[in-house]
Each structure stands twice: as structure tokens, then as C-alpha cells.
Chain A
């Protein structure tokens, strides 16, 4: 048993729902107890979908267990078929139904519906959401792709690619697809099929007609892409175009696969100039901690180091399926890989490393808030605010623009806070003046400082130096801006330990500062 409060990923049947909900003309019959329908609200609320997910749950209850849950399943499946008339169905069991061992696959075979029915084996007690999505998509492709379809001769037509991987509830999938489709169009390449997002079973049948495959999100697409590569001989483009440099590499790889000239597409994002402009100098060697799904985390690390000039001090992911890739990336950045789905481990790693910026998921956003560190979101799981109304891709050149703004924004805020802290004793900047980005109105008779006295107190208590510090050095430490204070303390203590100094005085503090000066 694993004690948990927060999970980065849902159970695998939620992954299957993400594929079914992304597609058109597919219906999912899920053998599941009453209550499992909670997952619907992820789609209707977080992603704000205007339709119910195409999922029928058997919602069995205790009194059904003594009787025939298998018949309940068949009735639900039959009624779902008659009501929704899908082109194909997927069927499976959630964690509880897995234990009662009805056989959805056999039961569906016996019903002989006039459409393809794809049974899913999703082991709920050992696998998780993104694995479930990947497996579901693979099974759908394997069952529905027509193996006789091949691309038409190349003469007189543009090359065609399949874009694989985007799903429902995917972080910025909607806009990434638009961005990449536009990019391919400038290169003279058509998108044959986007799947699973927006694809129908009829579309899946024609996957073989494309000249090559683009695996946009390996977490969902990789298994299916490898099968297509083997079955149809379709080359797979595997570079994930997140960041300016990665997008250029992606373009080169696509051009090679399609046999076109990449020059037309080698447009540029604003990122290189924004990053070179003097205003960005203070970004140099900012210590950044990165955590998310492996694909986004690895891409972010590259952008952080090569395109923004940050120092990557921590890199991790929660999906073990891609641990190998993440380890390789961590080695390249010279940091310890952190592969865990326990948010407490992530929290202690962040607390230990004292980064100046955290790039992570919704969970890291809250950890960072607690620790008073600026943060931006780069990966699922995300909350409703990260399914924005505005155009906001992560991929391609516009995606690079979005990344620059999103990541730098909390730092500008951070700088502002720093200035406020430095000048806190000046009356204009007194604590109760509040940060300028938090609005200017004051509650009558109640200063913001009175509303939130706790935060600063906690900060001070949490940072009370360990024994060994002279009161004088301790006071000096407090004068250091809060977001580098932790680092200063660690460095000083390490320096004292290295030099066998029992007490830390003012001199030790400044000796250490000189020693670690970069």
C-alpha cells in the first residue's frame, strides 16, 4: 500500500476516457461501480467541454454483486449502442470491476454488435493514466487501421503526415495541433489525420495513406507510432518541437522525412531576440527546478539552459515509462534525475535545492507558493486556468514565444518582490503597501499586512538559522533578500563545516560569499 494525498496521474481507465473523449464516433462502455462517473467532470469542467464524454458506466451497486453484473454490463452496452450508434466501441473494466472478473471482452463478443468492439486490458493496480491512454490508442489503431491502405504516388501531390498523440484533457494539445499544422503547411506538407483528437474510426482506418508519422506526445503516441512504422513502413518524426531550437530540429527532421526544403519554415520566434536583449541579462544562471511528464520536462530543461541561460539544478518526471529518457537528459545537464510520483519527495527536493524558479505541474505551483518561490506550469496535471480561452501553444515558434513570456513573468514578479523586501523600511515600500501587481486598493481600516501576517512569520521561522550562528551574523543573514537567503545560509554553513569553524560570525558569512562568488 502506498499512502498518498495527491496523485500526478489518474487510473488507466481515465487515460482510455481521454482517448475516447478526444475522438468522434467512439463510445466507451466502462464496467465500473457507482461513483466512478466523477471522471466526467474533468472533461466538462477542467477542459470545459460542452458535451458529455462518450462513456457509459455500468454503475453497479452492492446489491448487483450477488446477482448478474455480467448481464448488467451487456444491457448497458446494448443500450449505449442503440442510443449513440457509434462507429466503434471500446470496452473495459475499472479497478473494482477488474476484481469481480466479469469478462467485458467475451461478453461483447457474445453480443455480436455490427461494429468493431475493442476490448481493453488496463491493469489498474500497476499502471496509470498516461499508460492507459497509450494502450487504448494503440489498440484502436491496431484494430481499425486498414492494413491494405498505402500512400498514393507522390507525383502531383504534397506529402502527407499523421499527427499522433493529442488527446482530451491534454496540456495545450488544442493549440499545439493548430501550430504544428500551420508549420507543416508552410513547408508544403498536408496533415492527413490528427489522432486521437478529432479523429473518427473511419479516419483511423486510413492512417496508412500518410507518408510519415509525427509523434507529438510520446506518452500517448509512441506505442501506436512504432506499430505503424513496423506495419506500414512509415518513418516516425520523434523530435518534440517545444522550444526554438527543438522546433528548428523538428523542421529539419520533418523536411528529411517528407523530402522537402525546410527553408520556407525556418521562420523564427521572438525568443532569441527577447533572450539576447539586455533586459534578460538578470536571467543568467537563475537556478531552475523542472518537474512534469518526461516529454515536457526534458524539453523545458533544454529551453531553460540553451535559450534562456538558466542553470538547471533539478530535473524529474512522474511517469516511469519514460524514466530512461529522463535519466539521459538529467545526465546531460549534470543533475540527479528525480523519478517519483510522490509529491512529498518532489517537495523535499525543491526545499533542498532552493531554486529561484520552479517549472512544474499544478502541484509544483502549490509547493512553490508554500516555499515562496516563483513558478510556471509546463505540464499536466493542470487546473482549469491552464485550459485557456486564448491561443497558447507550447510547440512551434509561437509556442516558444509563449514559453518565454510564461516563464519570465513570475520572475519579474519575483524581482519586484525582492525590491519591496530590500526597501521594506522605506515608507513607500512598507509591507502594508503590498505588491503592485496585487492591486492598489486597501481594505478600509485593515492593512494587507494585518490580513496576512502569517506568511512572513512562517518564512522567518522556517529560516531561523541553526545553532552556530552568532546573533550578529544572524541579523545580517536576514538582510539578504529572501529568495537568495536560503542559498546564502546553505553555502555559509557548508563553508563553515569545510573549514571546521564551530561558530558562524559576520566574517564567516562574507568569507563564504567570496568563496562561492561566481
Chain B
């Protein structure tokens, strides 16, 4: 909790100054990723090995979703498990056996590490191997950590996908170049992108994660991958280790972001420039028209992002470049400078980018700046509203479809709605 100190830009590109802070962080842990990942991979189960706190967190974060017979649960560590680690392993085997009997439809089981399991050094990767051997070939068992001490919110997805990568099949020798879209997207968005790439003539196109455990894509030196999300540092590294190449791009938010993202793939696959323009023109036009509705509300408004999901930098870029908003501070829990180089270069000069958090000091800055819109977590939103500051709760940006041309209008609307509401209320 040292006092905040500004650092000079370290990125080779012309990057704004980055404020790095340590202190109390008001963020979710990586376990929260389970809430959307389990919807994506339809035959996977996520078993958290943790405490009552972990179970309570998932319950609070998943809201009513918990009643739809979800494919996640918590093996709660009890006092007697702490007495001896051998017991904990036996107990875990028992819990997994019972679970798999109850849910025979499960094809992939993730053992998800938590703070307690990491601190007592319960070796989940060994447990996963042991259990895999026992339940093969019906169920594959993998492990990753979603603990708060190691991961922040969306980094849970990164850890999960990175654990999947070594399990992916090798692409056949002499395989044609394939495109891999990396990052869990809502099905509807994924389908839109697949149609777009098919029209462009890019193929085969795979998605990581796939919707089924046994349909995960192959990987190898002829794989080019495009990150759909900015928080996939470890996954990108793991894919590169398997010979795949990352296609450098900004992220597909808004008309410009999506154009640039698809363009990067088109270039990597040698697609004719005229053809590219023809194919994307309708979507791009639709996106521009759709976001235009919100311009009046958003243009010239000052926006402050508190750190949450690592989506903050690309979203600030979209809001400033395409809707004329003015980012005051863009907080991110972690700044992957290489993956975000293009995004950072597009932020307006003078934007303060902050990495990490000391929440009380950051709130002091919010109060001093009095932005028109503050993007923050649910623990802060109502208290800030009560102080007269308009907020947009950030978690919705992770759960809602916001990528691509046809979601650009919805994305802008998410930010315009709180301001619209502020103006209509007469109470």
C-alpha cells in the first residue's frame, strides 16, 4: 500500500502514462468466470474446491441462475479436511465420484482451485490426473485456479482456457491455415462472426472454447488465432507454445473495432481488400447507424472506469473514438501492454490509465473529478449513486453480448441508459 506513483510509459508505442496502484481492491476473483463459462461449454462441470465463502460468492454472483440446475458446485473444505492432506484427496475423489454418478451427461470436469485450496497446497493438477485415469474415457478432468490471490474476475476464463490448450489435438501434418477465435462469446455473437468469416472466404474457423467438450479445436503451427477478449494473456502464451500465431488487432467493439479485428484476420489470410470491404460494408453501416442513436446522450460526457474486467481500455477507446466521450481515468486490474498496444495508442492524449487499485484513493479521485458516468462494480454503484454520481455497473459488460457489428448499438445503449434515466426521473 505504498503511495501512488506514476510510471513513465514502458510500451514501445505512444502509450499514455500509466498509474500503478496497490491497496484494497474491490474486484471479483476468477471463480466468477464459471458463471458464464458453464453456459458456453454445455457438457462441462466446474467443481470449485474451496470454502463456504467460495460457494457463497458463486451463489451471489450467479443470482437466480443457480436454480436452473447449474453445472457448477463447490466441494466445501471442512475442518477435518484441514487436519491432514491425504484425507482431502480421498474426500475429493469421493465427491467427484458421487457427482459423476449423479450427472452422467458430464464429459469434462474442471477442478477449480480457490484461495483456501491454493494456500493449503492441495495439488489439484495431480488430483485431476488421478481422477482422469479413473474416469477415462467417459470424462476428461482438468484443473485450473480461479483463486482471488492469483486471478481477478475475467482472468478466471484465461486460466480455464489456458488449461484447455495442452489438451487440444495437434492439427494434422500439412494442415491448411486455420483461424481460431479465442474467448467465450455468446452463441449468437459467435455465429455472426462465423458467418462473416465464411463470407470472406476464411476457413476453417474454430472457436476456443467450443460448445462441446469433444469438439475442442485442433492447434498447431498453421493455426492463426484472434483474441476476442483482452484478458487472455496466459491462453495466448499457451497457444503460442503450441506453435500457433497471434493475429495482432484491437478488439471487436463498435463499428471501427470490429472492422479492424476482422480486417486483421482478412489480411492474415490474404483476402482481397475490395472483397473485404464489400463483405463488411452492410454490417459496418448497420453498426454506425445503431450507435448514432446514443451519440446525443454520450458525446462530450466524461467517463471514469474503475478496474474490473480488463475490458476497460477497449471500451474507453470505443466510447471516445466512436461516440465522442471523454475518458477521465481508465482503470484496469491488469494491463497486458502487448495485447493492448493498439488500443492504448487510440486513446485520446492525456487519458489517465491506471493499473491495480487502492479503492479509497481511487474513489477520492472519482469524487474530485465528478465524471458524468462512472463504470464500477455492484458494491460501489449504489453508494456512488447516493452521492449523486451516475454509474454503469460493469459486470453487465461481461454477461451481455457486446462484440461485433450487430451488438454495437446495444453496447452504446448500455452506457447511454443510466444517463437517459437520470434525465427522465423527477423524484
* A49 contacts across to B, CB distance below 8 A: 382-383
B98 interface hit (Cβ, 8 Å): yes
Question: Is there contact, CB below 8 Å, between B95 and A40?
Answer: no
Q: Given the known A-B contacts A7-B52, A95-B53, A126-B78, are A37 and B73 also in contact in the complex, defined by CB atoms under 8 Å?
A: no
- With a cutoff of 8 Å between Cβ atoms, the chain A residues found around residue B67 in the complex are 366, 370
Are A4 and B51 closer than 8 Å at their CB atoms? no
B53 touches A11 (CB 8 A): yes
Q: Decide yes or no: A35 and B78 within 8 Å by CB, A5-B70, A44-B383 being known contacts.
A: no
Question: Is A11 in contact with B56, judged by CB distance below 8 angstroms?
Answer: yes
User: Which among B23, B66, B81 is the interface contact of A6 at CB below 8 angstroms?
Assistant: B66
* Total B residues in contact with A, Cβ cutoff 8 Å: 62
**CB < 8 Å neighbour of B150 from A3, A41, A58, A61:** A61
Inter-chain CA distance A370–B64, complex, in Å, is 13
A51 located at the interface, meaning its Cβ lies under 8 Å from any Cβ of chain B in the complex: yes
B2, closest chain A residue (CB): A75
Instruction: Tell me whether A124 and B78 are in contact (CB under 8 A).
Output: no
Q: Which of B23, B25, B78, B115 is in CB contact (< 8 Å) with A37?
A: B25
Chain B, Cβ-Cβ closest to A12: B52
- The answer for the CA separation of A60 and B382 in the assembled complex, in Å, is 25
A93 to B284, CA, bound (A): 52
A454 interface residue (CB < 8 Å to B): no
Cβ of A264 < 8 Å from any Cβ of B?
Answer: no
Residues of A within 8 Å of B78, CB to CB, are 1-2, 125-126
Q: Give the complex CA separation of A4 and B48 in angstroms.
A: 10
Contact with A along B68-97 (1 / 0, CB 8 A): 001011111111011000001001101100
Contact A76 B60 (CB under 8 A): no
User: Which B1-60 residues sit within 8 Å CB-CB of chain A?
Assistant: 1, 23-32, 49, 51-53, 55-57, 59-60
CB neighbors of B among A86-103 (8 A): 94-96, 99-100
Are A62 and B378 in contact, with the CB atoms below 8 A?
no
Q: Does B28 lie within 8 Å of A124, measured CB to CB?
A: no
Which B residue sits closest to A52, measured CB to CB? B383
B-facing residues in A133-174 (Cβ within 8 Å): none
A466 contacts B by Cβ under 8 Å:
no
| A36 located at the interface, meaning its Cβ lies under 8 Å from any Cβ of chain B in the complex | yes
Within 8 A of A (CB), among B337-384: 360, 377-383
Interface flag for B220 (CB, 8 Å)? no
**How far in angstroms is the closest Cβ of chain B from A42?**
6
Give 1 or 0 for each of A1-32: 1 = CB within 8 Å of chain B CB.
11111110111011000000000000000000
Q: Are B28 and A35 in contact (CB under 8 A)?
A: yes
Question: Within the assembled complex, what's the spacing in Å between the Cα atoms of A57 and B24?
Answer: 6
Whole-angstrom CA separation of A430 from B120 in the bound complex: 60
Whether a CB of chain B sits under 8 angstroms from the CB of A444 is no
- In the docked arrangement, what's the CA distance between A40 and B150, Å? 21
Given known A2-B78, A41-B60, A42-B60, contact A34–B52 (CB-CB < 8 A)? no
B75-A1 in contact (CB<8A)? yes
B116 to chain A, nearest CB (A): 5
Q: Are B79 and A126 in contact (CB under 8 A)?
A: yes
Query: Does A10 contact B56, Cβ atoms closer than 8 Å?
Result: yes
Instruction: Decide: A35 and B382 in contact? CB cutoff 8 A.
Output: no
**B24: chain A residues within 8 A (beta carbon):** 37, 56-59, 76
Q: What residues of chain A lie closer than 8 Å to B188, measured between beta carbons?
A: none
Q: What is the CA–CA distance of A159 and B31 in the complex, to the nearest angstrom?
A: 53
Shortest Cβ distance from residue B89 to the other chain A in the assembled complex, whole angstroms:
10
**Residue of A4, A10, A79, A366 touching B73 (CB-CB under 8 A):** A4
Number of residues of chain A lying within 8 A (CB) of chain B = 56
- List residues of chain A with CB within 8 A of the CB of B215: none
- B76, A1: Cβ atoms under 8 Å? yes
**Bound Cα distance from A39 to B54, whole angstroms:** 11
> Is B1 a contact partner of A41 (Cβ separation < 8 A)?
no
Cross-interface CB contact of B378 among A2, A6, A45, A58, cutoff 8 Å: A45
A366 to B118, CA, bound (A): 34
Asked if residues B51 and A125 are in contact (CB atoms below 8 Å), the reply is yes
- A375 to B98: give the CA distance in the assembly, Å: 31
Partner of A38, one of B61, B79, B94, B385: B61
Tell me the smallest distance from the CB of B379 to a CB of chain A, in Å. Answer: 3
B contact residues around A94 at 8 Å (CB): 53
Inter-chain contact A36/B52, CB cutoff 8 Å: no
In angstroms, Cα B77 to Cα A64, docked, is 23
CB proximity of B405 to chain A, nearest CB, Å: 28
Residue A48 is within 8 A (CB to CB) of chain B in the complex: yes
Instruction: Note all chain B residues with C-beta closer than 8 A to A414.
Output: none
Q: Do A33 and B115 touch across chains, with their CB atoms under 8 A apart?
A: yes
Which residue of B is nearest A42, CB measured?
B60
The one of A7, A14, A36, A125 in contact with B148, judged by C-beta atoms closer than 8 angstroms, is A36
Judge whether A517 is part of the interface by a CB distance below 8 angstroms.
no
A450 at the interface (CB under 8 A from B): no
Chain A contacts for B29, CB-based, 8 A: 33-36, 38
Contacts of B51 in A (CB 8 A): 11, 95-96, 124-125
Least CB distance from A445 to B in Å reads 22
Contact A95 B95 (CB under 8 A): no
A40 pairs with B26, CB closer than 8 A: yes
A230 at the interface (CB under 8 A from B): no
Check A506 for interface membership: any CB of B closer than 8 A: no
Q: Which residues does chain B contribute within 8 Å of A13, judged by CB atoms?
A: 53
Q: Specify which chain A residues have a CB less than 8 angstroms from the CB of B380 in the assembled complex.
A: 40, 44, 52
Q: How far, in angstroms, from A1 to B64 measured CA to CA in the complex?
A: 25
In whole angstroms, how far apart are the Cα atoms of A190 and B343 in the complex?
A: 64
Give the complex CA separation of A316 and B49 in angstroms: 28
The reply on B198 being an interface residue by CB < 8 A is no
Query: Chain A residues near B259 (CB, 8 Å)?
Result: none
Contacting B1 at CB < 8 Å: which of A3, A4, A42, A76? Answer: A76
**Do A48 and B382 touch across chains, with their CB atoms under 8 A apart?**
yes
CA distance A137 to B381 in the complex (A): 28
* Contact of B386 with A by CB under 8 A: yes
Docked-complex contact A1 and B77, CB < 8 angstroms: yes
Considering residues A11, A48, A95, which has the most beta carbons from chain B within 10 angstroms of its beta carbon?
A95
Q: Can you list 29 pairs linking A and B with CB atoms under 8 Å apart?
A: A1-B76, A2-B75, A3-B98, A5-B70, A5-B73, A10-B52, A10-B53, A35-B28, A35-B115, A35-B148, A37-B24, A38-B29, A38-B379, A39-B56, A42-B60, A48-B382, A50-B385, A51-B383, A62-B149, A64-B149, A79-B23, A95-B51, A95-B115, A95-B116, A99-B116, A99-B120, A123-B79, A125-B78, A366-B67
5 extra A-B contacts, CB within 8 A, seeds A35-B147, A94-B53: A4-B75, A34-B152, A35-B28, A35-B152, A60-B149
* 4 A-B pairs with least C-beta separation: A35-B29, A35-B148, A40-B379, A50-B386
